[in-house]
Amino acid sequence: MKKLLITASIALLAACSAPQQPQINFMPKATLSSRDIVKNKSFTLTSKDVRTAQYVALIDSGRSNIEPIHARQNVRIALENAISDQFASQGFTMSVNSENTITLEVQEALVTVKHSMLENEMNGSVVLAITAETPTGKLVKTYNGTAKRTAMFSASKDEIQTVLNDLVDQVLKKVADDKELQNYMKERF
């Protein structure tokens, strides 16, 4: 029994000390409005992540080895918080029981990296869909962003993180600046 306990303890300690998969910080920044566009308009915010895989980067070193990298933060929750902050800065209020709803759908958030010892190429793509729904109808909008970057030597985790976060911030800015979405919410919420 003692040997079994020692063996189990060693296995547990070995698992704890095993190298962890690399992760990047996913920190979307909300594009905040300097003035309210509405007063006392409320909505309920929901979100879903429909990506086929939960990693945010794929690194192809050309040696038949493709390494996925995940975000430290939950991508759906981080984007939901950023969208919530954006709409709050425009004067909208979130409610748990509003008849108006905003649904954020994360369809893609990925940076693919192909690198060798001498250069790297990063291609990023972010796709968010927002559905604004009222009892009388709904508006569905899709926001896309792409980025391409080539640099010398292999790509670092920090460089991948920068490309992803900058790309997500650009897409969030498109959402914040979308007059059609703002007018729909202003008139119907």
Q: Which amino acid is at 150?
A: T
**Token pair belonging to 21:** 């998969």
List, for residues 57-80, the tens digit of each pLDDT value: 998 877 778 889 999 999 999 999
Residue 12: per-residue pLDDT: 53
9 — pLDDT class (breaks 50, 70, 90): low
Residue 118: per-residue pLDDT: 82
List, for residues 122-160, the tens digit of each pLDDT value: 999 999 999 999 998 999 999 999 999 888 887 788 888
pLDDT at 52 over 60: yes
Q: Which amino acid is at 118?
A: L
**Token pair belonging to 175:** 């959402």
149 within 8 A of 111, measured Cβ to Cβ = no
Average pLDDT over all residues of the chain: 87
Longest dimension (CA), the chain: 72
Least confident of 14-18, 84-88, 172-176: 14-18
44 within 8 A of 98, measured Cβ to Cβ = yes
Higher pLDDT, 21 or 143: 143
What is the mean pLDDT of the segment spanning 117-125?
A: 87
Name the residue among 179, 171, 165 with its Cα closest to residue 142. 171
Q: End-to-end alpha-carbon separation of the chain, Å?
A: 67
Residue 76: per-residue pLDDT: 96
